A = this chain, B = another copy of it.
Amino acid sequence: MPRILRINTRTKEYTFEEPGQYAKLGGRALTSRVINKEVPANCHPLSAENKLVFASGLLGGSTAANSGRLSVGTKSPLTGTIKESNSGGLFAHKLPKMDILAIILEDKPAPEDEFSTLFISGDKVEFRNCADIMGMDNYPAHDKLMQTYGDKMIAGMIGPAGETLRTTATIQFTDPYKRPARSAGRGGVGAVMGSKKIKAIILDADTNEKVAAVDADAFKDSRSRWVDILRNHPVTSQGLPGFGTAILVNIINEAGALPTKNFRYGQCDHAADISGEKIAETIQARQGKTTEGCHVGCVIQCSQQYNNAAGEYVTSGFEYETVWAFGANALIQDIDDIAHLDRLCDEKGIDTIEIGNAIAVAMDGGVIPWGDGKAAIELVKKIGTADPMGMIIGNGVGFCGRAFGVERLPLVKNQSMPAYDPRAVKGVGVTYATTPMGADHTAGYGVCQNVLGVGGNVDGLKKEGNIELSKNLQVATAAIDSMGLCLFVAFAVLDAADGVQIMADLVQSWTGQAFSTDDLVNLGVNCLKDELDFNARAGFTAADDRLPRFFDTDPLPPHNVTWGITAEELQGAKV
């Protein structure tokens, strides 16, 4: 039975523990339980009392399609809430193969202590000197790590932003193409790793336990049907592989819900220039690649390799939300500038959504001109340096608003909103307001029913039905995150009658523990309860579930719709 590896970053002691009270949990349900049980809710997120948890899902290590997502949990330095930040990469599938269910980083070193890398091999954890990669961008630092630890090593690492404790700092994970291109992106989890002075966690390539399904035959059957489900839905079999997530640019723009110019408009004049179709065309013309997976076992393949005009690699994991943030919301038209910014965010280790929005706020405050991609690049380059402008931009939207005197700030719980205007896609707006995470589309993706017609139809322009919709999606999402599944499986599951049953069957046959569809729902519900309990003890109340007032006072063109849901009504979306 996989163990919990608990590492004290101050004393450099570590223990492998039986899961105990955390048995039968995985992924987000596990990280949120640990944080809720072990971290004082009102501690400072960068203090010794906070912890940082890395956990594979219940299906981690298995060959079930799209089950290699990782949960990173902590008290967020951006929001002050509990946080689960979810990432692709190779880390999640590797942990169970090392007989590890989760890694918990605790305590913090003294101010005068140096950063270390943690090398985990077999039952040994070494704190190693990492002076050679300090301050280095993630791609070159990852190359150096591969030189040291072999090119099959798997890393979770922070860039200059995490080292300098920026509240938008990510943790970047090794992807299947030996790039640190997958991010636990939101909530500043990289700053917590930085506060504990861990530059990188390296999983030894040579440590591989045999892992297998407890009920191999049943698992094989479920796995096969699971692949069918994913391969038979148009979104997961055609839309996402063909154009990546940026296929949404035209769709959301058409729906009048693409936040433009710091959430002033619902449509963007140059949407076609930054669309998934345009990106796919560009990639093909430049001999890039439109279909890559973020982890081994992915059958959706929504990632890509985006090259520059000379055919050289620029970036991957070039997501819709990134393209939107820099492209529509900050009005940058040149897709090559946006790709450059995406790469820069991976290099510095920063959240593209938060930083894209922060750039829009900087433009709103007159720091740089609207749409100036080159100026945006120069600003982002300052993040992780001693330049105080980098400190400001690197701390996200709320911080930039105060620095630049901008009052128009699309925030919930100090986390900025992603690429769907809540006024026109109220299903996801309810999620922004009520998820324990702060504004987060991945916590309950109402876009499915509001815009895409997946899993039914609910009008995104009206309140009716969206509170219940968001609540159901939040539960389902928490369960999916806890199984270690990619959220995009939901597209297919929502339209497959046996989708939920198959997911439950996968867990039951893989783990050998009885697991019904009710258990699956409870996994999600209990995860949310842990999160809401932590937040309540940290001082969050219904008042924190409000959207900023401008969503109520300023109608969004072209539908000229306002928000209009009260914090009291929103409480119905909570478990």
CA distance A415 to B42 in the complex (A): 17
A239-247, A350-358, A544-552: which lies at the interface: A544-552
The reply to whether the CB of A49 lies closer than 8 angstroms to some CB of chain B is yes
What 0/1 pattern do residues 373 to 396 of A give for CB contact below 8 A with B? 000000000000001110110010
Contact residues of A between 270 and 304, Cβ < 8 Å to B: none
- In the complex, which of the residues B391, B404, B539, B546 contacts A404, with contact meaning CB atoms closer than 8 Å? B391
Closest B residue, CB atoms, query A188: B402
Give min CB distance, A115 to chain B, whole Å: 13
On whether A165 and B43 interact (CB within 8 A), knowing A388-B391, A392-B388, A539-B544, the answer reads no
What CA separation (Å) do A160 and B400 show in the bound complex?
19
With A43-B549, A391-B388, A392-B392 as contacts: A165 and B405 at CB distance below 8 Å: yes
Q: A541 interface residue, CB < 8 Å from B?
A: yes
List the B residue with the shortest CB-CB distance to A402: B395
- Of residues A42, A195, A392, A407, which shows the largest number of chain B Cβ atoms within 10 Å of its Cβ? A407
Would you call A538 an interface residue if the criterion is a C-beta within 8 Å of the partner chain's C-beta atoms?
Answer: yes
Smallest CB–CB gap between A543 and chain B, Å? 3
The docked-state distance in angstroms from the alpha carbon of A219 to that of B232 is 90
Partner of A44, one of B392, B540, B549: B549
Please tell me if A19 contacts chain B, counting CB pairs below 8 Å.
Answer: no
Which residue of B49, B194, B546, B549 contacts A549 across the interface (Cβ within 8 Å)?
A: B49
From the candidates B167, B388, B407, B550, name the one contacting A388 in the complex (CB within 8 A).
Answer: B388
B391–A46 contact, CB under 8 A? no
Q: Which residue of B392, B407, B544 contacts A403 across the interface (Cβ within 8 Å)?
A: B392
Tell me the complex Cα distance, A46–B404, Å.
12
| From B42, B49, B167, B550, contact of A402 by CB (8 A) | B167
CB-CB contacts below 8 Å: A521-544 with B: 538-541, 543-544
> Chain B's nearest CB lies how many Å from the CB of A390?
8
Instruction: Answer yes or no: A40 CB below 8 A from chain B CBs.
Output: yes
Is A513 part of the binding interface, using a Cβ–Cβ cutoff of 8 Å?
no
Chain B hits for A208, CB < 8 A: none
Does A129 sit within 8 A of B, measured CB to CB? no
Inter-chain CA distance A46–B549, complex, in Å, is 12
Whether B403 lies near A42 (C-beta < 8 A) is no
Contacts of A194 in B (CB 8 A): 405
Centre residue among A49, A392, A403, A544 by max chain B CB count within 10 A = A403
| Interface residues in A69-86 (C-beta closer than 8 Å to B) | 77
User: Residue of B at shortest CB range from A77?
Assistant: B402
Report the separation of the CA atoms of residues A548 and B541 in the bound assembly, to the nearest whole angstrom.
19
A539 touches B549 (CB 8 A): no
Also in contact, A407 and B546, with CB within 8 A (given A388-B388, A391-B392)? no
A409 to B44, CA, bound (A): 9
Contacts of A544 in B (CB 8 A): 539
Q: Provided the pairs A403-B391, A405-B195 are in contact, do residues A543 and B549 lie with their beta carbons within 8 angstroms?
A: no
Whether B548 and A539, one on each chain, are in contact in the complex, defined by CB atoms closer than 8 angstroms, is: no
Q: Which residues of B contact A538 (CB under 8 A)?
A: 543
Q: Which chain B positions have C-beta within 8 A of A389?
A: 388
- Whether A47 is near chain B, meaning CB under 8 Å from some CB there, is yes
Chain B's closest residue to A393 (CB) is B388
- The answer to whether B42 and A549 touch across the interface, beta carbons within 8 angstroms, is yes
The 0/1 profile, CB within 8 Å of B marked 1, for residues 163-204 of chain A is: 011010000000000000000000000010011000000000
> A54 near B: Cβ within 8 Å?
no
> Which 9 residue pairs across A and B have the least CB separation, nearest first?
A539-B543, A165-B405, A388-B388, A388-B389, A44-B407, A391-B403, A46-B407, A47-B407, A541-B541
Chain A interface (Cβ within 8 Å of chain B)? Answer: 40, 42-44, 46-47, 49, 77, 164-165, 167, 191, 194-195, 387-389, 391-392, 395, 399, 402-405, 407, 409, 538-541, 543-544, 546, 548-550
16 CB-based A-B contacts, threshold 8 Å: A42-B543, A42-B546, A44-B407, A46-B405, A47-B407, A47-B549, A49-B549, A165-B405, A191-B405, A387-B388, A388-B388, A392-B403, A395-B403, A539-B544, A539-B546, A540-B543
Q: Other CB < 8 Å A-B pairs besides A44-B549, A388-B392, A388-B403, 10 of them? A: A42-B546, A44-B409, A46-B407, A47-B549, A387-B388, A391-B404, A392-B392, A395-B403, A539-B543, A539-B546
